[in-house]
Amino acid sequence: PEIYAVVPAAGIGSRMQADRPKQYLSVAGKTILEHTLDTLISHPDIHHIVIAISDTDDYFSTLPVSQAKWLTVVSGGHDRASSVHNGLTALPAQSWALVHDAARPCLSHEDITRLLSVISSDTSSGGILASPVRDTMKRAVVSPGSDITVSHTECRENLWHALTPQLFNTGVLRHALEQGAAAGVTITDEASAMEAQGHQVRLIEGNPANIKITRPADLPLARFYLSEQSN
């Protein structure tokens, strides 16, 4: 089956405090979104991308890439999971969907290739890029006076950060997202919807340089990682 990339890009990125959604900020010569799309489409196993764009977005159509033949545009939803779901509806059920955040421009081809190896390796329903937690993890309690204190320390052994891309069978993922939405649970990544349906999700160790741009301080970091890649 074919492999399609699905890019949720319909968020407003309020934590960036910028004048536009974060994927339209420029880093190292082009917008974050263009870095992300260029990396995906230049991978030899990806021939088509579906992108979810907000109906109120005035920026996307100004980018030359919005006219690309290899791109299908769908409307975004009220949260990331529904934007992804809208993207999946544009694809054949019997295909692979490689879902990748627009806000992660530092993805490498090596990481994509490593993730794609889950397709051929076994019977799993898919997998995600992830990286082991290195810091000590605290569970916090917020008191009524808004002091934040430690409830307890989580054991960090076997704790991983979920990254994207996340790769699943398109039809199976679509069903899992629909079940999650019907149950009213908050779905912050594709894997959690798959897990809730009892599917096995493989963890593939990815490069921690594949950061999600969230805060202003992430921009110089992304610039650095992108310059390292072009060396």
Interacting residues toward ligand C5P by CB under 6 A: 8-11, 52, 76-80, 83, 101-103, 212, 214
Q: Is 203 helix (H, G, I), strand (E, B) or coil?
A: strand
**Nearest distance, CB of residue 207 and ligand C5P, angstroms:** 18
Residue 52 CB, nearest distance to ligand C5P (Å)? 5
Task: Name the residue nearer to ligand C5P (CB basis): 94 or 188.
Answer: 188
Sequence letter at residue 90: A
Q: How far is the CB of 53 from ligand C5P (least distance, A)?
A: 8
Q: Kindly state the smallest distance separating residue 231's Cβ from ligand C5P, in Å.
A: 26
Of 76 and 127, nearer to ligand C5P (C-beta) is 76
Nearer CB in complex with ligand C5P: 77/126:
77
- Residue 8: CB minimum distance to ligand C5P, A: 3
Q: How far is the CB of 152 from ligand C5P (least distance, A)?
A: 26
- The tokens describing 47, both together, are 């021939």
Could you tell me the end-to-end alpha-carbon distance of the chain, in angstroms, rounded to an integer?
34
Are 177 and 192 contacting, i.e. CB atoms less than 8 angstroms apart? no
Burial 22-40, CB ≥16 within 10 A → b, else e: bbbbebbeebbbbbbbebb
Q: Can you spell out the DSSP letters for 12-74? A: --GGG--SS-GGGSEETTEEHHHHHHHHHHTSTT---EEEEE-TT-SSGGGSGGGG-TTEEEE
Compute CA distances 183 → 30, 54, 62, 150, 196, whole Å. Answer: 40, 25, 38, 31, 10
Q: Which is nearer to ligand C5P, 9 or 193 (CB)?
A: 9
Nearer to ligand C5P, 164 or 169 (CB): 164
What's at 191, amino acid-wise?
A: A
Instruction: Give which of 132, 204, 133 is closest to 168, Cα–Cα.
Output: 204
* Residue number, 51 or 176, with CB nearest to ligand C5P: 51
